[in-house]
Each structure stands twice: as structure tokens, then as C-alpha cells.
Amino acid sequence: MFETLEDVRTDCLNRLIRAPRDRKSPMHAPVIVTGDVDARVMVLRAFDSTHMTLRLHTDARAPKARVIAADPRVAVLFYDKGAKVQIRARGKGEILTTGQLVDDAWAASTNFARRCYLGDGPGAASDTPTSGLPAEFEGAEPDDTQLIPARENFALLMITITDLDWLYLAHTGHVRAQFSRRGEVPDWQGRWVAP
């Protein structure tokens, strides 16, 4: 099935291209790990195969924003149970709060999704179970004017991938390959490794 390193690299790219476009893709919501070894599931919003970047939405007030600013190392875990393929990626994370890319992502979001950025910041303490949203937006979609204060809390997590580790699980024997690149050019170096 995967006879060459180029077959494997193509498989990785195809899976990452599909993941943000298809909500049913098993790789649509990968696990993101930051330098403080904290992990969370996030929705992949875009993948740029030319620059090897992942784009995810986050709250600028989230603890991970401070962690990434201090230590940009990020790991990403994708898993497709049906295909028996795991992709682990490592790279450099960056939190963006301004610029055209952020503005475009905000504009493309629904008001219902944007309301998440109206509430308390992630990790804010509460005496009772809470969504953190203001009471008037619990289960309700705010209008554009009501969302103005939310924009300052909206941010992108951009991850530039530098390393990929691909694992195919098979009863006949697992197969694994690794790819690394350095610099901006997509000069990938691949190798087969024992699982």
C-alpha cells in the first residue's frame, strides 16, 4: 500500500488537506500539545500544504497563548482509527491577534461561533458550572453589534510544521516513516524507521 516515502508523504498531505474541509474527517479535531506538556483537542480550520501551516482558532486570553509566546514548541496528534493511521507533527506555534488572516478568519465565522469570545476567559474560576458566557447569550446568537467586544479576544494559533511522524498499524506488521525539514523551503528529508 505504501511502498515509497513519497507515497507516505502524499498520504500525510492528503489527510491534512481533507481534515479542515470535512467535519467528518477523523483528523478534523487533533490533539494540540504545548511546551508546558498540556494537551487539548482543537478544531483544525485550515492547512496550507505549501507553507506547511495549520490554522486553529483560540482565545487570546487562554493560558496556551502565554505558553506559546514563551515557548513556541508545539506538537499535534492526528489519528484515523478506520484507516489505522497516526500522524504526529511537531513545529513552531504562534498566536496572531491582528492582521488580514485574523480578520478574514473572524469574518468567516458565524455569530454563534463568535459568541464564545464574549464570555470569561478560558480557565476563569466559577462557583457553579458555567459556559462562561454572559446570561443573555446562553443558547442565543448575538448580533454583529453585540459581538464587537468579542473580536479583541479572538486569535489564531498558527503552527508551522517542521517534523512529521507517520504510523500505519497493520496486523502483518506496522510501518512507520519520519519526515523533517529545516528552513522555509519544503525540502523534506524522509526515512523509514521501526515502529
Walk me through the domains of the chain, giving residue ranges and CATH numbers. Answer: 5-111+156-193 (2.30.110.10)
Q: Within 13 A of 189's CA, how many CA atoms are on the CB side?
A: 5
Give the DSSP letter of residue 57.
E
Residue 54's SS3 state is: strand
Query: Per-residue pLDDT tens for 159-172?
Result: 999 999 999 999 99
Query: Per-residue pLDDT tens for 137-157?
Result: 988 899 999 999 999 999 999
1 pLDDT higher than 80: no
Contact between residue 36 and residue 69 where contact means Cβ atoms under 8 Å apart = no
Give 139-194 as a DSSP string.
T----TTTTGGGGGGEEEEEEEEEEEEEEE--TT--EEEEEE--SSS---EEEEE-
User: What is the per-residue burial (b if ≥16 Cβ within 10 Å, else e) of 89-103?
Assistant: bbbebbbbeeeeebe
Contact between residue 12 and residue 27 where contact means Cβ atoms under 8 Å apart = no
pLDDT of 188: 87
Tell which residue, 44, 115, 108, has the closest CA to residue 76. Answer: 44
The CA–CA distances, whole Å, from 148 to 3, 50, 114 equal 53, 34, 10
46 pLDDT higher than 90: yes
